[in-house]
Amino acid sequence: MKSTNTAGHLSALLTVVIWGVTFISTKILLADFQPVEILVFRFVMGLLALTLIYPRRLRGTTLRQECTFAAAGLCGVCLYYLLENIALTFTMAANVSVIVSVSPFFTAMLSQMFLKQEEKLHASFFAGFAVAILGIFLISFQGSALKLNLTGDLLALLAALCWGCYSVLTRRISAYGYHTILTTRRIFLYGLLFMLPAVFGFGFRPALARLLSPVNLGNILFLGLGASALCFVTWNYAVRVLGAVMTSIYIYLIPVVTIVTSVLVLQEKITLRTAAGTVLTLAGLMLSERKR
């Protein structure tokens, strides 16, 4: 049991490390691609990769289970990423990073409402949430003023709520006992189906010439194979082992990973505010995981 929990924590950590870099990749791709184009390319690639890795079929599902898969695809694949990518076109990436980081709070509230197997929330969870958000705020707005954009910020908040719903749904899906790759693949399929209206409504262009650019191709491969195919499997596994609430707490680390990546890749300097924010975020993570 202890080794299983360790694997769950490592899976969640690996996931947020990769997802922390996706803000930079997505921002680069938005110069040449529409938000819905990025989503279609990355999740089609992810679906194909998972099919090649584990070519078995998911059999014996009930109508109720299929509805749960469909809801997870709608919330976690279609709505969350579409809302997040569109929000990035309206507001600063820092705003999106902070606002999306409140998704553990939504996950906790929804879990208490709909998941009987989740633990009751303790005061330490809320204290850790407040400390982590303060740290994330310091990291995200280092050296720049807070610039609010009602449309972009509301879209980011809705994205956070959608991810909370997705976490609760995947926790329920994990109780079905199917292989994690099979359930992730089914979620991807439904997510892509729900994207079809956006494909026709947001100017999707199938011109693949843009992928000939090494920068664009590299970022699409990273998002499709790493951030989608690999990370959704590892995240869903972590939710299955640790629960929706504990796994979602790792989302606090995403802005930390983003700023570290900026330092390593873009040669940005770490300021005192960044260091303080990182310490607060890590402290909030540890505090939230305390049971009392």
pLDDT digits (tens, 9 = 90+) for 24-80: 788 788 888 887 888 888 999 999 999 999 999 998 899 999 999 999 999 999 999
Q: What per-residue confidence (pLDDT) applies to 65?
A: 95
Q: What per-residue confidence (pLDDT) applies to 292?
A: 46
Which two structure tokens, joined as six digits, stand for 239?
Answer: 């939710």
* CB 256, CB 281: distance < 8 Å: yes
**CA–CA dist 223, 24 (Å, integer):** 11
State the SS3 of 180-198: HHHHHHHHHHHHHHHHHHH
pLDDT tens-place string over residues 183-227: 999 999 999 999 988 887 776 777 677 878 888 899 999 999 999
Which two structure tokens, joined as six digits, stand for 70?
Answer: 């469909």
**CA–CA dist 181, 221 (Å, integer):** 19
Which of these ranges, 96-100, 116-120, 169-173, 225-229, has the smallest mean pLDDT?
Answer: 116-120
Exposure b/e, 75-110, CB count within 10 A at least 16 = b:
bbbbbbbbbbbbbbebbbbbbbbbbbbbbbbbbbeb
pLDDT tens-place string over residues 139-183: 766 555 556 667 877 888 899 899 999 999 998 999 898 999 999
Q: Which residue has the higher pLDDT, 4 or 17?
A: 17
pTM, to two decimals: 0.84
**CA–CA dist 77, 72 (Å, integer):** 7
**CA–CA dist 66, 43 (Å, integer):** 19
Mean pLDDT of the region 96-101 = 76
**CA–CA dist 135, 282 (Å, integer):** 8
pLDDT tens-place string over residues 247-273: 888 887 887 787 777 677 656 666 777
Q: What per-residue confidence (pLDDT) applies to 76?
A: 92
| 97 has pLDDT over 80 | no
Nearest to 168 by CA among 68, 287, 252: 68
Mean model confidence pLDDT for the chain: 83
